[in-house]
Chains A and B, each alone.
Chain A
């Protein structure tokens, strides 16, 4: 089946040829048409192996009921035809069974897409009684194999719950269904002069509920903080079918335990998020983006310190990328000119946003000038218009896709003290070379690249491979986790645990913490029907 998950807008890169004269209504939009939509069709690539075959040590839990006719009849009794998808000769449900990286593949035969919270409640109540395992699914862009079944779990997609419920233009509080696509929520807010306090490369596909379930961090955490701060309330269907209505819109509320926090980052293991109430900040009027080249990782850190001090309140993103990540992206975007003709060891993308363009321009310009005079920044460009601004962002945002598209990618998303951040990439490359796994085909590994949110001490180590390969995985795991643990980092900064990191939580959390997490899981989900084989 065609899998067109992320739709990217690449501008200026390849401009369409315009006809000589266009009778434009308002402007020559048709003639300019610089936005090329790349829809990636991964269907030509070999189908991923079944997770159960790739990880034979993980066994289906026999306590879960195998779906029988009576169960399907029950689902049919509460859902309409359009809310149920069943596997058949023509339809293998690959869209729901395979994850974004095409690393994991489950074997679910049924996808439920209820259009109301009450229906979700009825389904969970039934599944809980019958001990039918369920995987909650949002936009299926998660990067740790958490959003797809491992065996025959029922996929419960919230994509049909996609209405904005309410927006208060005075407080900036947005209430919406969990299945609203992040970009749609942000576009809606833009109309009202507000912005979603989180942005990430998958915004065109991922859900508001999905990012909350993962406690995603993203590109603007530096400015707007984590979802633990901005989410004000949630509506959650618990595994027994009870609907927890906690859709508050209070910024301050110290009455009892803060229940919503438990569900933020719970990755679908203790309840299905159906509604989100979130505080959104006013949308900045002026954005600037500058793409810089520096000679060393040391200099990345120096520029970061300088940017924090000198750009202060207008600094909204500080991303770094190594040269290898840009080589992969250049390969993927064949023909699109990179901001620099030459290559440099590291690149930085700085975004400022504020309320007054002149003020921001002046501040940024002073900062950039002195960074160049100090010799910290060796080359740099600034976006002169919105098209260039978006294009510069693409060189950062398309790295995940570029790492994946030649066969596959092993992704590690870790928190490390800033000074050790990049040493993990060096160590991983050294290890893969030693094991003779890295190099030209037929070696499995293309490159191990590093990039990430310096501002948050968050590194993405992406090992781009020609195919998923047990030897590569063995070389990397638990090596990466041990490395991170030895530096007192976290083995999952923002992507979560999912299937991939279930067994590695011990590298970051101590036994007492792990026990408490397990107790909570059992409290909410005694039958363990929600998202089994994952998380803990």
Chain B
């Protein structure tokens, strides 16, 4: 199907910056978000980069890259960076303070997929705030599309066959499938580019559609899970320096490690 044009959707999430140490809030039921730096989820950044690279490599293949984010109004900052990096259009779905669970996100995204006539979804394997790692899989399920998760390499065999190298425990797995398809990204896939100034200025003129959850009244976004409590991991005990191998063995015996 040589005439087939790719319409790529890249969902991106605004999360607590990777470099910031997350802390549990006072209520002990969520991560403290007040006064904390937010940035694009690093895996999503890789997804954007991959979409843009596919387009750069093969201009005639890609008709559109659409970035979408469900989150607070501030998520428009990360969308604008996506546009600057090479996405053509974007949608911000303002969810106010509501935290959607992966299934709800997948359902909302499915609506966008229908509207955008998307035939390739590239998204992060997980968001680093909740580490769920299941939105991509759920979306593939809802759409009944093939999925290639944890991608380390994406190659187009022809205009609608994609070969994906996946990270798996202890090695790699290479699979191929035909579009439409969901691909989720892993770290090795690429190194995202910086946001260029010129492109950032141009991005201001690119379209950003603004919707709210009300526009998805047919989608049930009610939470199904309840967070009972959230705790910081126990601090690791400090290490001790030993003077000799004998002492080391003794210490290891003390803690019953050997």
Most chain A CB within a 10 A radius of its CB, from B81, B168, B192, B194: B194
A27 touches B19 (CB 8 A): no
Q: Which of B34-42, B138-146, B245-253 contacts A (4 or more CB under 8 A)?
A: B34-42
A369 touches B20 (CB 8 A): no
B194 touches A382 (CB 8 A): yes
Q: Does A56 contact B (CB under 8 A)?
A: no
Q: Does B159 contact A (CB under 8 A)?
A: no
Choose one: A13, A17, A382, A386; the contact of B18 (CB below 8 Å). A386
Q: Does B135 contact A (CB under 8 A)?
A: no
Contacts of A225 in B (CB 8 A): none
Q: Does B50 contact A (CB under 8 A)?
A: no
Q: Does B240 contact A (CB under 8 A)?
A: no
Size bracket, chain B contacts: 35 or more
Q: Does A337 contact B (CB under 8 A)?
A: yes
CA A152 – CA B193 in complex, angstroms? Answer: 52
- Which residues of chain B from 19 to 34 have a CB within 8 Å of any chain A CB? 19-20, 22, 31
A372 touches B201 (CB 8 A): yes
- Given A25-B233, A387-B19: A15 in contact with B197 (beta carbons within 8 A): no
Query: Nearest Cβ distance between residue A382 and chain B, in whole angstroms?
Result: 6
Q: Which of B115-123, B126-134, B212-220 contacts A (4 or more CB under 8 A)?
A: B126-134
B167 touches A15 (CB 8 A): no
A384 touches B40 (CB 8 A): yes
B131 touches A22 (CB 8 A): yes
Contacts of B97 in A (CB 8 A): none
B197 touches A382 (CB 8 A): yes
Contacts of A18 in B (CB 8 A): 167, 186-187
1/0 contact trace for A245-280 toward B, CB 8 Å? 000000000000000000000000000000000000
Query: Nearest Cβ distance between residue B224 and chain A, in whole angstroms?
Result: 21
- Which residues of chain B from 128 to 178 have a CB within 8 Å of any chain A CB? 128-129, 131, 133, 149-150, 152, 166-169
Q: Does A38 contact B (CB under 8 A)?
A: no
A21 touches B40 (CB 8 A): no
CA A386 – CA B186 in complex, angstroms? Answer: 20
Q: Does A368 contact B (CB under 8 A)?
A: yes
CA A22 – CA B39 in complex, angstroms? Answer: 21
CA A286 – CA B232 in complex, angstroms? Answer: 25
B19 touches A390 (CB 8 A): yes
Q: Does B17 contact A (CB under 8 A)?
A: yes
Q: Does B242 contact A (CB under 8 A)?
A: no
Q: Does B200 contact A (CB under 8 A)?
A: yes
Q: Does A19 contact B (CB under 8 A)?
A: yes
CA A26 – CA B186 in complex, angstroms? Answer: 18
Q: Does A385 contact B (CB under 8 A)?
A: yes
- Given A21-B133, A28-B131, A384-B39: A368 in contact with B197 (beta carbons within 8 A): yes
A20 touches B195 (CB 8 A): no
Contacts of B18 in A (CB 8 A): 32, 34, 385-387
Contacts of B31 in A (CB 8 A): 26
B195 touches A382 (CB 8 A): yes
For A341, the closest partner residue in chain B by CB is B193
1/0 contact trace for A376-411 toward B, CB 8 Å? 010111111111101010000000000000000000
Contacts of A443 in B (CB 8 A): none
1/0 contact trace for B6-19 toward A, CB 8 Å? 00000000001111
Contacts of A28 in B (CB 8 A): 126, 128, 131
Contacts of A15 in B (CB 8 A): 187-188, 191
Q: Does A24 contact B (CB under 8 A)?
A: yes
CA A70 – CA B111 in complex, angstroms? Answer: 86
A26 touches B195 (CB 8 A): no
Q: Does B207 contact A (CB under 8 A)?
A: no
Contacts of B3 in A (CB 8 A): none
Contacts of B37 in A (CB 8 A): 286, 357, 385-386
Query: Nearest Cβ distance between residue B85 and chain A, in whole angstroms?
Result: 9
Contacts of B191 in A (CB 8 A): 12-13, 15, 337
Q: Does B196 contact A (CB under 8 A)?
A: yes
Query: Nearest Cβ distance between residue A471 and chain B, in whole angstroms?
Result: 42
Contacts of A27 in B (CB 8 A): 16, 22, 128-129, 131
CA A337 – CA B194 in complex, angstroms? Answer: 10
- Which residues of chain A from 325 to 381 have a CB within 8 Å of any chain B CB? 337, 339, 357, 361, 365, 368-369, 372, 377, 379-381
Q: Does A36 contact B (CB under 8 A)?
A: no
A388 touches B167 (CB 8 A): no
Q: Does B244 contact A (CB under 8 A)?
A: no
Query: Nearest Cβ distance between residue B185 and chain A, in whole angstroms?
Result: 11
Q: Does B229 contact A (CB under 8 A)?
A: no
Q: Does A514 contact B (CB under 8 A)?
A: no
Contacts of A11 in B (CB 8 A): 19
1/0 contact trace for A421-452 toward B, CB 8 Å? 00000000000000000000000000000000
A381 touches B197 (CB 8 A): yes
Query: Nearest Cβ distance between residue A528 and chain B, in whole angstroms?
Result: 38
For B197, the closest partner residue in chain A by CB is A380
Contacts of B39 in A (CB 8 A): 384-386
Q: Does A285 contact B (CB under 8 A)?
A: yes
Most chain B CB within a 10 A radius of its CB, from A29, A385, A392: A385
A20 touches B194 (CB 8 A): no
CA A390 – CA B77 in complex, angstroms? Answer: 20
Choose one: B77, B78, B187; the contact of A32 (CB below 8 Å). B187
B35 touches A20 (CB 8 A): no
Contacts of A20 in B (CB 8 A): 149-150, 166-169, 186
CA A491 – CA B191 in complex, angstroms? Answer: 42
Q: Does A16 contact B (CB under 8 A)?
A: yes
A377 touches B188 (CB 8 A): no
B198 touches A379 (CB 8 A): yes
Contacts of A290 in B (CB 8 A): 197
With A24-B131, A27-B129 already in contact, 14 other A-B pairs whose C-beta atoms are closer than 8 Å: A12-B192, A13-B191, A15-B187, A16-B187, A20-B167, A26-B232, A290-B197, A337-B193, A384-B45, A384-B78, A385-B40, A387-B17, A387-B42, A388-B194
A–B Cβ pairs within 8 angstroms, 11 of them: A17-B187, A18-B187, A24-B128, A31-B126, A285-B35, A365-B200, A380-B196, A384-B194, A385-B37, A385-B42, A386-B20
Closest 3 CB pairs of A and B: A385-B39, A386-B19, A381-B194
